[in-house]
Amino acid sequence: MERLKVQDICKSFGGLTAVSNVSFQVEAGQIVSIIGPNGAGKTTVFNLLTGFYTCDAGSILLDGRPIENLPPSQYVKEGVARTFQNLRVFPAMTVLENVLIGYQSKIEYGWADAILRTPRLREQERAAREAAMEILERLKLSAFAGERCAGLPYGLQKKLEIARALVCSPRLLLLDEPAAGLNPQETAELADFVHGLPEQGFTILLIEHDMSLVMDISNYIYVMDYGRVISEGIPEQVQKDPKVIEAYIGQGGIRHASEG
Ligand SMILES: Nc1ncnc2c1ncn2[C@@H]1O[C@H](COP(=O)(O)OP(=O)(O)O)[C@@H](O)[C@H]1O
Ligand SMILES: [Mg+2]
């Protein structure tokens, strides 16, 4: 079943066409990756998928429902969650508290509930903690629940950021360069972690520069260059495609984790 179907989306900034008639799809329960040189338009695609930018043209269907050009706050409710290219966790807060922030969009109470600490509010707080602890357990992070993020290794903070995005059980998770800034061992651990998400029922769209990671864990890959999809296929096909190799040559060839 198609979880996500993107059809001919376009986005220009002034004279610059960042995304030009891009189409792709993601099957439920798979890891699909978008790769391509810097400036290819990958992050712009994510911004279009989450309402940070509006599409100039094209359509985006999530489980058959059109979701293009909704207000950004609507996307979490529709079931699209994301992480960012730069780490965004709150260092002074604990792991559990950071995950609770991800649950906030689901909590519904008014100021009266908050002041009076009504049963409705307490019930929602209880449900939030339960959901947060459950996702930490499923992702084998519960041992760190009470620790402050500031003290944690960077690789763990990255996993935490993903856990926070997953606490609301999104239909689709967008990961933008999750391995950026990780050392080879942390990258390998993160790869295992992301690889395990489909069996937990999650569907992943991944942007990543680290080719070994992408080739190891993707079911299917789309390659972008200059705002267009220039190639697609299973990892073995994409790796051999001369168009892909060509696109990367200008950037010093295809980079692997061990090369930094
Ligand atoms: N808000 C914006 N305003 C102007 N140009 C932008 C904006 N966002 C992205 N771009 C441009 O669009 C192109 C694609 O960028 P981006 O999607 O970030 O590429 P990638 O993630 O593949 O490295 C780049 O040339 C970038 O400078
Ligand atoms: Mg980017």
* Model pLDDT for residues 70-120, shown as the tens digit of each residue: 998 899 899 999 998 777 889 999 999 999 988 876 666 677 777 777 888
Element spanning 185, H or E: helix 184-195
Token couple for 209: 């520069």
- C-alpha pair distances (Å), 150 with each of 58, 98, 129: 42, 12, 21
Give 147's DSSP letter: S
Token couple for 140: 């084998």
CA 40 – CA 209 distance, rounded (Å): 12
Q: What is the pLDDT of residue 135?
A: 93
Q: Confirm if 105 and 77 have CB atoms less than 8 A apart.
A: yes
CA 248 – CA 229 distance, rounded (Å): 14
Q: pLDDT: is 104 or 214 the higher one?
A: 214
Nearest-CA residue for ligand 1 atom 4 is 13
Of the residues 16, 48, 207, which should be mutated to test ligand 1's pocket, given the most ligand atoms within 8 Å of the CB?
A: 16
Q: Confirm if 202 and 176 have CB atoms less than 8 A apart.
A: no
Nearest CA-CA partner of 22 in 225, 161, 199, 204: 225
Ligand 1 neighbourhood includes 218 CB (under 6 angstroms) = no
Ligand 1 neighbourhood includes 41 CB (under 6 angstroms) = yes
pLDDT in tens, 148-193: 999 899 999 999 999 999 998 999 999 999 999 999 999 999 999 9
Relative to the CA of 53, which ligand 1 atom is closest? 1
Neighbours of 165 (CB within 10 A): 22
How much is the average pLDDT of 124-143? Answer: 91
Q: What is the pLDDT of residue 205?
A: 98
E strands in the chain: 2-13, 16-27, 31-35, 57-62, 65-66, 80-82, 172-176, 204-207, 220-225, 228-233
Q: Kindly indicate the confidence band of residue 225, based on its pLDDT and cuts at 50, 70 and 90.
A: very high
Nearest-CA residue for ligand 1 atom 25 is 39
Q: Kindly indicate the confidence band of residue 260, based on its pLDDT and cuts at 50, 70 and 90.
A: very low
Q: Given 3.30.1330.120, 3.40.50.300, 3.40.50.970, 1.10.3720.10, which CATH number is that of 2-79+170-259?
A: 3.40.50.300
Q: What is the pLDDT of residue 137?
A: 93
Q: What is the pLDDT of residue 62?
A: 98
Residue extent(s) of CATH 3.40.50.300 domains in the chain: 2-79+170-259
Q: What is the pLDDT of residue 51?
A: 95
Per the listing, tokens 């697609």 go with 232
What value does the mean pLDDT of the chain take?
Answer: 91
Q: Kindly indicate the confidence band of residue 143, based on its pLDDT and cuts at 50, 70 and 90.
A: very high
Token couple for 204: 């992943």
